[in-house]
Structure 1
C-alpha cells in the first residue's frame, strides 16, 4: 500500500497556516508531511522562508500521528554532529515520527550568496554528503560505539531518505537508505536507476492541480499551469478519478510513497477531499 505525505514548502505561509494544514492532513488520513530546506527559496529570493528543523519540531509538537520529514535537508547547512543531535532529539520528542531526509544541495546560488563551500562543485558536495552520513551514523552508534558516539543514543531507529540521482546519492540509498526519492522529471529513468538504490523504497514528489467536485476543471488547470507549468510532467491536473488513475499507474511502476504538492497551496478542505476521493480508493487496490 502506498504512503501519502503532504509536501508543503514553507514559504507564502505564516506558522499558524502551516500548522493548520498539518493538522488537516493528519485528520484527513495522510501519513506524513515534508518541508523543504533552503536559506532562500529557489528562484524566489525575495520570498521569506522558515527554517526547516525548527519548523519540523513545531509541527511535531502540534500533531500526534503525522510523520515529519524533509525533501530534503541540505547537508552543507549543518555540521553533521549537530544534525545528528537534532535528529535524535526530534525523534525522541515526536515519539519516533521524525525521518531524516538528506541531499547534497540543489541550489548553488544560495551557496554563493551565503558563503557555503563548493557552490560550483557538485562532486565535492556529494563527497561531503557521504562523509557527513558516516559521521552521523558514528554519532548514533550505528556500528557500535566510537569516539564520535553521542549520548543519548537514538531512542528508536531514525529512517533515512536520500534524494537525487547522482552515483554517490544512489550508493548511500543502497547502503543506508530506507527511502530513495527520485525527482519527477527523471521518472522515465526509474527502471535504470532503481537497482542502484538497492532495497530502498522509492518515493516521488508530485505537484497536483486537483479539481474538487463541482469546481471548474479548466480554470484550475490554467491557474496551476501558470504557477507551476515549469515543472513539466511534474505537474498533473484533474479530478479524483484522473488522480486515482495517475497515482495507480505510478504505484504499478514501483513508487511506494507520494509527496503530494498542491498547486492551490493545500487548503484544509482540499486536503480532506483529496484524501477521501483519492487516497481512500487507492488504499483498496
Structure 2
C-alpha cells in the first residue's frame, strides 16, 4: 500500500469520556474522508482515572462495524490476558464475518499490570505474559483454519477445538505494538502481520524496523494539525499539553505535518494512526485527508 498509493491513515479514538454518538460521528467522518481504519483501546477502566466513563472496546467496535461500510476496525491493542485464545478467535472471526472482512486484530500482553491484579487476573510477569501472547497468536491462527485443533502448549491446551465460521479471507491481520527489544520485537518478527511503532519510539523507526522482520509498519502519533499558520502555536500547545507525555508529537500546518511524516514513510511506514489534538473532530479529520495525505503520496 505504499508506492503510488502512498501511506494510509488511521484514526486513534480512545473511547474515554466520549459517548457512543461522539465516537460514531468521528468514525463516520473518518470513513467519509477515506481513512483506512479506526482504533480503540481495551481496558476495564481508563488507566489515567478509574472514575471516568469508558465504553468497552469490543462492544464499540462491534457497534461501529454495523454502522460503517468501508472503514476497518481494530484496537491498539486488545489485552490478550482478558480473553482465552479460543474465545478471542471466535469473537474475531465472528466480527470479521459480520463486518464483511473489516477487522484488524491488535494484540498486546498487558500494558498496565496493576489493572490485571486489581481486577482479579493473575500477573505472572512480563516474560510469561509475552509467552502467553505468542502462544495465543499461534492458537487463533490454527483455529481460523476451521479444522479441529489439538494443542499442547506451555500455557494452553485444546482438544478437538473448532472455530467456525472462518474469517472472510481465512485470516485476520494481526498487529503487535511496542518497541521492547527483549520481548516485543521478537514477537513482532515471528508472529505479526503488522508492527505498530508507538509514538515514543518513532524517532528510532529506521533502527527498529530491522527487528520487525517481514511485518508491515504502522506508526502511532499524537498529531496537532493546525488549519493555518496563525493557529499553529495554539494547536501545538494543546497537543503537547494533552499528549506530550507519549512522546513523538507531530504538530504544525498540513505541510509541516506531512514533512515530518514523510521521513517515516521513507523508512517503511505504510499506515499512520493519529490521535488528533482535538480528539478527532470531523474538521480535523477532513483536513488531514485533504491536505496531509496527498502530500505523502
The reply to whether TM is greater than 0.5 is yes
Distance, in Å, in 2 between the alignment partners of 1:30 and 1:53 is 20
Residue number in structure 2 paired with 1:47: 52
Match of 1:15 among 17, 20, 37: 20
SS of equivalent residue, structure 2 residue 251: strand
Contact 1:130 1:168 in 2 (8 A): no
Distance, in Å, in 1 between the alignment partners of 2:183 and 2:161 is 23
Distance, in Å, in 2 between the alignment partners of 1:159 and 1:230 is 29
Unaligned residue ranges in structure 1 (runs of 5+): none
Aligned residues: 280
Residue number in structure 1 paired with 2:109: 104
Q: What's the CA shift for 1:145?
A: 4.1
Residue number in structure 1 paired with 2:41: 36
Q: What's the CA shift for 1:168?
A: 4.1
Q: What's the CA shift for 1:150?
A: 1.7
Residue number in structure 2 paired with 1:203: 218
Contact 1:7 1:259 in 2 (8 A): yes
Alignment of 1:109-258 (within 5 A): 109-118=114-123, 121-141=125-145, 145-146=148-149, 147-156=160-169, 157-166=171-180, 167-213=182-228, 216-232=231-247, 234-258=248-272
TM-score norm. by structure 2 comes to 0.89
Contact 2:224 2:236 in 1 (8 A): yes
Cα-to-partner distance string for 1:202-244 (whole Å, 9 max, x where unaligned): 1111101110137522222222222222223x21210111011
Distance, in Å, in 2 between the alignment partners of 1:240 and 1:262 is 13
Q: What RMSD, in angstroms, separates the aligned Cα atoms of the two structures?
A: 1.7
- Higher deviation after alignment, 37-46 or 170-179: 170-179
SS of equivalent residue, structure 1 residue 279: helix
Contact 2:106 2:175 in 1 (8 A): yes
Cα-to-partner distance string for 1:157-183 (whole Å, 9 max, x where unaligned): 211111123444333322332201122
Contact 2:199 2:222 in 1 (8 A): no
Distance, in Å, in 2 between the alignment partners of 1:2 and 1:148 is 39
